[in-house]
A and B are shown apart, each in its own frame.
Chain A
Amino acid sequence: MAKKNATDLLTSCEASRQMIEIAAERGIETVFDRAASMRPCPIGAEGICCKNCAMGPCRVVSAKEEGGPAKVGLCGATQETIASRNFARMVAAGAAAHSDHGRGVAEVFLLAARGEIPGYGIKDEQKLLQLGLDFGLDVANLSVQELAVQVGEKCVAMFGQQEGELAFLKRAPLKRQELWRKLRLAPRGIDREVVEVMHRTHTGVDQDYKNITAQAARCALSDGWGGSLIATELQDVMFGTPVPVAGSINLGVLKKDEVNVIVHGHEPLLSEMVVVASQDPELLELAKKQGARGINVAGMCCTANEILMRHGLPIAGNFLQQELAIATGAVDAMVVDVQCIMQAVQKAAENFHTLVITTSPKAMMQGATHIEFDEHDAIATAKKIVRTAVDNFTRRDPSAVNIPDVRTDMVAGFSHETINYLLGGTFRSSYRPLNDNIIGGRIRGIAGVVGCNNARTTDDEPHIILIKELIKNDVIVLTTGCVAMACGKAGLLTPEAAKFCGAGLAEICETVGIPPVLHLGSCVDNSRILMAATAVVKEGGLGDDISELPAAGAAPGWMSEKAVSIGHYFVASGVYTIFGTTFPTLGSSTFTDYLFNGLEETWGGMWDFEPDPLKMAAKMIAHIDKKRAALGIDKARERVLMDMAMRRELEAT
């Protein structure tokens, strides 16, 4: 059990702190307790345990004495082969998770486009049109419905595509596309690349760590520029492209006198419908009858980000708060779908009236209530779920309810399209002001800080320390996933957070009216960061490739395999990407050195690792400064005064 006086070491979140103590008092075990009682496997953590065949598992640790020979597996596989295979399999698992999410969205989208399922429609025709253009469809002569069907078919087909390359690669800067083709990194299809990673990492297949790294990149790119992008784009078309919206976050959003439904997981397909069902007059009436003042839908993990971005609905918390939410005793139903749902929530729920409702046939859980999501009648499923929660309200024990009075306001909803709008309005929308101010130096660079929470570090803390250090140095931060939520809790997603910024960034924030940390959505929405980076390149003045931008990526508190896939697609897209907490290849110095130093020359991007968030910030800023120097924008910009001759030199607008 966690010690009271030690909770500060566990988390920097006030609500979590309170709930960890309450859970301890009630004898409810949480991830924080388990983290204290079980250390990570030191050999697995470093990526040098191979259990890909039954001759092993082989633990290929280095010799104790300096310079001594490293062990090899029974088959002779070296440290670097084993570490790279394990790394590639993490990428494949992460890419599979994102892409399978994307497939689910694409399938529902196609059904909806064909008019086969009620409840879903087209909310963003503009984006649908853009997708039509991406696929080279005859958009001018198709009705919206016809276009949607064809776009849906194209998206679904990308998963099973066997030849050529993914259509979305064409969105990338030309220089990057050429590089991918030259290095054979361009994914041919989404599923194919996952399968090939699994094949090549099977015992006795690919035993060249560089070749494995390349295939891992092809697989990761099929996520970032494939599965995840499909998920983001089609979700936007169906549910609306996010625009700035106010919301609030932390366990304090749970309501004592309302039915509390937490939607937890990743896909918005169901949660969107739960939102609709929660506003159903009949169910509201039922809730009143049960003595509740209303139905409060709050999110958790990336599902939370999805409904926040599009509806401004409150977020109960991020990954490490899922058990703590249940410990409030106020959750009438925790509705889960896929990814990042701890099996421990069911055990925690058994201390209370809380029902854990699983909804995906892909993700069931012993002891939980299963109400399967039927996309053919999504509203009915959603209503059934909400009704179950409402019915469960009467079983709530008011004396067991402990909701910490902690919540923070925030502004979210920054799709890359909306950033374009925010920088110039309807008539002058463009990334020009961003580029201009990067060139001019008010903004030193761009950082994407994303990823998870990890119980091996103080929850939320490295994220916040890193990000505050970045914005203090005028680096604007784009964020998604659980890091975005940590920022929300720490008040960094408000315009007022400009007070933490250096003078240049503060001035930009104040001018545009934005927070210095922009919440771009869920973890599949890291695709939005790729799109934003590409938009910055295409706006001009900052080089011809993502790798030339004064930008860096980080995941200070990562834990899931999805993070490794994301990291690797960022690296393969040209971004310097640094992870914190732990790094899964450290057991092989050769392979690690290749990732950290060897890739840059060919890919432009590379990996790095630094557990100390302040040092991490320093490394990111150093990289940004290096890129600024290479672009020649490390000096003060001259004011160019134009005369008529110079105006004639302007190209046609």
Chain B
Amino acid sequence: MSKIICTAAINGAHAIARRVETTYARVLKNYGPDQEIGFPDTAYFLPIIYAMLGIAVKNLGDCQLVFERARRLLPRPVRDNMPLPYLAPALDAGMATLFYEEIDEAMRYLEKPDFYLRGEDVGDDNIWLGAASDVILRKRGVEFVDGSAPGFAAIVGAAPDSETARKIAEELQTKNLYVFMASQDNGRCFARQLVEAGVQIGWGTRLVPFSPDISGAVFALGFACRAAMAFGGIKPGDFRKNLIYNKDRIFAFVLAMGTVTDEWYANAAGCINFGFPVIADTPIPAVLPTGICTYEHVVPNVPHDQMVARAVEIRGLKVTVTEVPIPVAYGPAFEGERVRGDDIYFECGGGRTQMVEFSVLRQMDEVEDGRIEVVGPDIPDIEPGTKLPLAIYVEIAGRKMQEDFLPILERQIHHLINYAQGIMHIGQRDISWIRLARQAVDKGFTFKDIGRILHAMYHKDFGKILDKVQVTIFTEEERVQKVLKEAREAYSLRDARIANLTDEVEGVYYSCTLCQSFAPSHVCVITPERTGLCGAYNWLDCKAAFEINPTGPNQPIEKGVENDGRTGNWRGVNEFVAQASRGKVQNVNAYSIMQDPMTSCGCFECIAAYLDQFNGVMTVDRDFKGDNTPCGMKFTTLAGSVGGGAVTPGFVGHSKHYICSGKFLKAEGGIARLVWMPSQLKEELRDKINARGEALGVSNLADRIADETVGMSQEEILPFLKEKKHPALEMESMI
């Protein structure tokens, strides 16, 4: 009965409105209208209000305007007899609720700045993380883009017991979904139940405890609103596009666990505006007709063991989970899980012992598919704390395999192992490092399972190019050393091969339209010397990806006639981009920031911006925490104005790696134009920057580039550049 739900939602919205307006009156009296408020580290203000109404709430006074709009949305209560239509008013009430709650949470940040933690991790006493910063949004948002996280489950309330909570969370994790938790039921909350059950929570494991109150729902919906603005290029205030974007592209739903109060209903009505349905474990009324959501709107009375499966179906989501025959849960959600302290059962690599991962190409008859062998002691043979060397030796055969694909496959080992619950993996090649948790070992995990993971996942992800996979795990010093020697020889050959790949030599580039699920007009053009701007895809990756999925997002581009080698303009590339962007982009200069630069999606690692006062370019990476950069915008603000598949002359998204490519800013004179970058990024790339500088005839270029320790303003930076004789000052004008 929709009427019961709408009645409750409208009543709940009124109750929330009264409470928040009362709080506001008090807070306003104490702090005054000019008091700044907002969520930490975001360029999106109070994101739902910003996305829906286009109002940037910066201080307490700004809230008045929002209240006016919210009050107009609050409908009259539903009459019992002869009611006027109630669905639309209830949806409006839901939206008003979200506006009120966002202001409420912002006031909480003001009055109790320590109520919520900052960052991705929970503490021992406090588990509540509150609003995600833009850094988290960018980092996690990429997963929504590439499909490693198709959406999120917003869980309100609590399961009947901790074990049920654990099972539901784990099922959601294995389906790659994020879990956003808020509110409580009868004093119990889902997030705490997970802690009780020994589950690691926090952004790293995709189990995110937002708030002990229902108002924490705004952190989930605010994340969704920001994803649409950041990755979909949807403008603040364009509420319709934002909501439809969420309905079509962000696969989220609500799991209501426990007694559904009027205030929960009000929030649920808010969620339905986004096309996020509600699945409840209690016998509340149902709303089954479709329309606002893709399928059903409210589905009650779902048994706990069916909740996740039902929710995914109701939301219209397809999650393909590969069954990996290992005794622990498996999925990307476990990638960020840590193993430390007393939980460590076994550890190797990381400077303690030698570890190495190596893959090698074999003839078809040299490989026995599925053969997994451990040479040396396995887990059941050793005591906890035992130190062993470890080599993961993967032999691959396939009719479509090429030497070039080996490094790609090898690079997967890191996350593929990390996906296993209770296993932590760091690094790659000969600097890898692994930890096995006691809990995983208790469930029966052994080294052999590492082989099982690689065998199953290689077949799943790369089945098109490989036919056979055989894995050997060596734990004897002598054998490990032998593998290490073979591997190091191969590594140097591979590195040399990469270094010799140039844009001039190769006639075929690759597209990446992976991000079109979020930024529909974005087309990355990936050349040997220009990686994807997310940093995740280089030319070889794309080449392999095309082999694996010939109709997928990575397509070969015949570069065709070179129109301009300096700016990186080719006829074939232009034709391809025009078609792939559905006519939105007609001309692309791969090496330019000023003239028809490439489109930027939302998941670029760095963004470069032209600085007219220095005749140069700055770049900033998404990990930079500063509130500003010399162009007047911090990373997220920049990303907000440049992303979404737009072409913005003077700005371009790029990967970290690309900074040290010979093609970086080639049209404008190359890396010698770089006048400012965050110090941490500079240190990370120092040697390569200097090497690239040398090639252009500039010594110690890294030292000539300003960073945040020098300053943000012209007065601070210009004397530094002059003192360091930065080459950009002498170069021809960029315009």
Contact B292 A424 (CB under 8 A): yes
Binds A, one of B312-320, B346-354, B697-705: B312-320
Contact B313 A639 (CB under 8 A): yes
State the total of A-B contacts with C-beta under 8 angstroms.
144
Q: Does A436 contact B (CB under 8 A)?
A: yes
Binds A, one of B79-87, B255-263, B585-593: B79-87
B47 CB, nearest partner CB in chain A, Å: 15
What is the bound-complex CA distance between A484 and B440, given in angstroms? 70
Nearest to A651 among chain B residues (CB) is B520
A513 CB, nearest partner CB in chain B, Å: 4
Q: Note all chain B residues with C-beta closer than 8 A to A429.
A: 88
Contact A650 B288 (CB under 8 A): no
Q: Note all chain B residues with C-beta closer than 8 A to A425.
A: 87-92, 94-95, 273
What is the bound-complex CA distance between A641 and B314, given in angstroms? 9
Q: Note all chain A residues with C-beta closer than 8 A to B85.
A: 244, 411, 422, 512-514
Within 8 A of B (CB), among A367-393: none
Pick from A409, A428, A641, A652: contact of B316, CB below 8 A. Answer: A641
Q: Does B249 contact A (CB under 8 A)?
A: yes
Q: Does A520 contact B (CB under 8 A)?
A: no
A410 CB, nearest partner CB in chain B, Å: 8
Q: Does A508 contact B (CB under 8 A)?
A: yes
Q: Does A246 contact B (CB under 8 A)?
A: yes
Pick from A246, A426, A507, A513: contact of B3, CB below 8 A. Answer: A513
A248 CB, nearest partner CB in chain B, Å: 10
Q: Note all chain A residues with C-beta closer than 8 A to B6.
A: 513
A271 CB, nearest partner CB in chain B, Å: 23
What is the bound-complex CA distance between A511 and B514, given in angstroms? 38
Nearest to B234 among chain A residues (CB) is A653
Contact A507 B288 (CB under 8 A): yes
Q: Note all chain B residues with C-beta closer than 8 A to A500.
A: none
Nearest to B146 among chain A residues (CB) is A644
Q: Note all chain B residues with C-beta closer than 8 A to A512.
A: 2, 85-88
Nearest to A647 among chain B residues (CB) is B517
Known: A246-B84, A512-B87, A642-B317. A427 touches B291 (CB 8 A): no
Nearest to B297 among chain A residues (CB) is A511
Q: Note all chain B residues with C-beta closer than 8 A to A644.
A: 146-147, 150, 517
Nearest to B89 among chain A residues (CB) is A425
Contact B289 A427 (CB under 8 A): no
For B277-293 the 0/1 string (1 means CB < 8 A from A) is: 00000000001111110
Binds A, one of B239-247, B599-607, B624-632, B647-655: B239-247
What is the bound-complex CA distance between A424 and B73, given in angstroms? 13
Q: Does A601 contact B (CB under 8 A)?
A: no
For A485-523 the 0/1 string (1 means CB < 8 A from B) is: 000000000111000000000011011111000000000
Pick from B82, B94, B232, B320: contact of A409, CB below 8 A. Answer: B82
Q: Note all chain B residues with C-beta closer than 8 A to A614.
A: none
Contact B52 A641 (CB under 8 A): no
Contact B52 A427 (CB under 8 A): yes
Q: Does B513 contact A (CB under 8 A)?
A: yes
Q: Note all chain A residues with C-beta closer than 8 A to B2.
A: 510-513
Contact A642 B292 (CB under 8 A): no
Contact A639 B316 (CB under 8 A): yes
Pick from B83, B290, B312, B517: contact of A495, CB below 8 A. Answer: B83
Within 8 A of B (CB), among A411-445: 411, 421-429, 432-434, 436-437, 440, 442
A413 CB, nearest partner CB in chain B, Å: 9
Q: Note all chain B residues with C-beta closer than 8 A to A340.
A: none
Pick from A496, A507, A648: contact of B516, CB below 8 A. Answer: A648
Q: Does B722 contact A (CB under 8 A)?
A: no
Contact A433 B82 (CB under 8 A): no
Within 8 A of A (CB), among B212-259: 232, 239-241, 243-245, 248-249, 251
Nearest to B288 among chain A residues (CB) is A507
Known: A425-B92, A512-B87. A507 touches B520 (CB 8 A): no
Nearest to A435 among chain B residues (CB) is B291
Q: Note all chain A residues with C-beta closer than 8 A to B288.
A: 507, 511
What is the bound-complex CA distance between A514 and B2, given in angstroms? 11
Contact B251 A642 (CB under 8 A): yes
Q: Does A640 contact B (CB under 8 A)?
A: yes
The 5 A-B pairs with the shortest beta carbon distances in the complex, nearest first, are: A433-B291, A425-B91, A644-B147, A652-B520, A641-B318
List 15 interface pairs A-B (beta carbons < 8 Å), by A numbering: A245-B84, A411-B85, A424-B91, A425-B89, A426-B88, A427-B92, A433-B290, A433-B292, A494-B82, A496-B82, A513-B2, A641-B313, A647-B248, A648-B514, A652-B520
